[in-house]
Amino acid sequence: MFTNQQINLDILPSIDDVALKPISKQYLMIIVINRWVFYALIVSALMVAKLKIVHEGFQLAFWYLFSACALFCILNFVVALLAFNKRKYAIREQDVIFSKGLLVNSISVIPISRIQHIEISRSWLARRFNLATLKIFTAGESGIDLRIAGLNYSEAKQINDFLSNRVNGID
């Protein structure tokens, strides 16, 4: 006999009760460096365009375009700095939780039983700061299901080992 009883939401555990751990503060330096390189490329492209494009309409509009780009860069930088504090994670017995986002906050919960593959990656800049990115893959074609950047390398290895042991049934 088929049943489909409604669940009382008040008795379900709340994700708000989980103490999420922030990622490494050193990751903020990587964000800052990446942003400044990106902004330098934009400004350089604008300056080259100013020197190469002799059309009078472009020369008159250049400072408006430059001001708009500068405003975009400043706002983008401030949002990136504020959003950094929202990057938090937790490893529990049965799942991995990752929260991020300033304007749109998203919380991802990946059950350990669904994990297919775990990977640690490090860019050359992350190696300089002894940081790593933990990538968690689950069944399906979507690729990386959870990506936690900004972990201390030793912590990422520890989490990787814990999750690998849980996935493989080793306790």
CA distance 3 to 63: 68
67 and 96 assigned to the same domain: no
- Average pLDDT, rounded, for the chain: 91
Domain end: 54, 83, 112, which one? 83
Band the pLDDT of 58: cuts 50, 70, 90.
confident
The encoded tokens of residue 38 equal 């990106």
User: 62 and 75 share a domain?
Assistant: yes
Q: Are residues 94 and 107 in the same domain?
A: yes
What is the pLDDT averaged over residues 101-121?
91
Among residues 83, 103, 119, which one ends one of the domains? 83
Within a domain: residue 59?
Answer: yes
Q: What is the pTM of this model?
A: 0.83
Q: Which residue(s) pair with 120 in the sheet? A: 134
Q: 73 and 101 share a domain?
A: no
Mind giving me the DSSP string for 11-55? GSPPGGGS-PEEPPTTHHHHHHHHHHHHHHHHHHHHHHHHHH---
User: Does any domain span residue 3?
Assistant: no
Per-residue pLDDT tens over the stretch 15-40: 888 899 999 999 999 999 999 999 99
Domain that holds residue 45: 27-83
Q: Is residue 111 part of a domain?
A: yes
Q: How many domains does the chain have?
A: 2
CATH number of the domain encompassing residue 153: 2.30.29.30
pLDDT at 154 over 80: yes
The pLDDT of residue 53 is 86
CB 73 within 8 A of CB 42: yes
160 and 103 both lie in a single domain:
yes
Residue 148 forms part of a structural domain:
yes
Output the CA angle 139-149-80, nearest 5 degrees.
125
76 lies in the same domain as 117? no
pLDDT at 157 over 90: yes
